[in-house]
Amino acid sequence: MVKPAKGTTTLAFIFKEGVMVAADSRASMGGYISSQSVKKIIEINPYMLGTMAGGAADCQFWHRNLGIKGPGLYYVDSEGGRLKGMRFSVGSGSPYAYGVLDNGYRYDMSVEEAAELARRSIYHATFRDGASGGVA
């Protein structure tokens, strides 16, 4: 039996204009890259987005079962634990993404600045983390 390796980079942060969400698009299992075009940002409802990092079954469970809680940014782990915060990055590339995100994050960014910070954070993760890749 092949044990799936969990590798990806997703991130989200709150800024004055709303919430910016970004993710890479690579799907991998160990050293095998199965796809470069996976959509890891999912619409749960018109007011809620989620990102997928980890086992697909875990992500599908949360996609089906999350409800409307109001505005906010939450990290939900595979055990169901939740943390509320202003910014998160998840996956094997997250230490690299956090390096850029923490350095460039400001609450008062414009939409263009926030989008550029998100792209740059994902790009640096895909450059350094072999399990992350594709496009941001």
Cite the active site residues.
8
Report the greatest alpha carbon distance in the chain: 49
For 30, residues 6+ apart whose C-beta sits below 8 A from its C-beta are 2, 4, 5
